[in-house]
Amino acid sequence: MNQIPVAIIGLGPVGQLAAKLAVQRPNLRIAAAADIAPEYINRDLGEILGLPPMGVTVRPTIEEALKTAGEPGAAIVCTGSWLKRITPQIVACLDAGWNVVSTCEQLSYPFVSCPEESRLIDEKAKQKGVAVLGTGVNPGFAMDILPVFISGVCSRVNSVLIERFQDASFRRLPFQQKIGAGLDLADFEKKVGEMTIRHVGFSESVQLIAAAMGISLDRIEERVYPVMATRTLRSQFLEIAPGRVCGVDQICQGYLDESAVITLHLQAYFGHPDPKDRTFIDGEPPLDVTVKGGIPGDTATCAMAVNAVKRIVNAPAGLRTMLDAGVISSWLAR
């Protein structure tokens, strides 16, 4: 089996998990890794992951890492949620001739929120003959591609409601911080205003669904509310006292003719009593599909990114979305 060279860019919790999953794939070979953390630089990637030595030394820059990697393949970029901040990293990968799969939420459908960055990435990728894809569990699957796929058996769709309810106490620390866990109400509201507390990618998921279903929305509205702890709550990382924020209740809606035709509802807070992923399509026929317990966020995000590699290296050059990627599957363990 021909192995696809893979570069892991960013060794936070998501990057490390993606690397561990990539090691298990017989069709992938980790050829490079980059991270700016001083404690990782010049160490063997296997040592950082708690695995045997891999012969891959972590470099402080993308350019250094890819220069020593040999034949280009696909870079898995796990460094941030906001596309404006990570565009230089994507461009560095493209300049070296590498395809890119990224867990950056805005990259999932960036044409409205980041038009300049979208054009730059698309033009650079086409110039180099490679492809770029943003994916994960959300955006990338649970609240956009899964509902789009399910709608394929409907002769008509009137509206779409997607619910993702999570017990955030089991998630990684950066996620818990992103939903404001442990803050007082004043700090929470301040950070919501600064756009640092929220699930990133909601409007992108709404836009992707609208594009798939052939509609031009009149407007998109997004609201973020705090969920307050009524008792002491704990995770591996945090303890939350009663009266402090334990997570978010976030809604994003796409409107057509003053009606909300696409509604995304996220509840992510410590101690959620009913975690699940639900897609309800009001159509012909009506469909109500629920994953009890919900789809594990971190594992699923990394699995989507790693499993997408085999698609993106064969995709047409340019900036792509999950609407272009085709059906992404895992591999059959033997």
Question: pLDDT digit string (tens) for 173-186?
Answer: 988 999 999 999 99
Per-residue DSSP letter, 166: E
Residue-wise pLDDT tens digits, 205-220? 999 999 999 999 999 9
* Amino acid symbol at 32: A
Q: What pLDDT shows up at residue 2? A: 85
CATH 3.40.50.970 for domain 4-135+299-325, yes or no, is no
Mean of pLDDT values over 135-142: 96
Residue-wise pLDDT tens digits, 248-269? 999 999 999 999 999 999 999 9
4-135+299-325 and 145-294 agree in CATH topology = no
Q: What pLDDT shows up at residue 305? A: 97
Beta strands (DSSP E) in the chain are: 4-9, 28-34, 58-59, 74-77, 99-102, 131-134, 156-167, 219-228, 233-234, 239-240, 245-256, 259-269, 276-284, 287-292, 318-320
Contact 183, 244 (CB under 8 A): yes
Mean of pLDDT values over 101-121: 97
Q: Which CATH architecture has domain 145-294?
A: 2-Layer Sandwich (3.30)
Q: Kindly indicate the confidence band of residue 334, based on its pLDDT and cuts at 50, 70 and 90.
A: low
Q: What pLDDT shows up at residue 332? A: 77
- Cβ burial, residue 126 (10 Å; 0-12/13-18/19+): middle
Among the residue ranges 2-16, 88-102, 320-334, the one predicted with the least confidence is 320-334
List Cα–Cα distances, 241 to 170, 177, 187, 274, in angstroms: 17, 15, 15, 21
pTM of the model: 0.93
Q: What pLDDT shows up at residue 1? A: 57
Q: Where are the domains of the chain?
A: 4-135+299-325, 145-294
Mean of pLDDT values over 163-168: 96
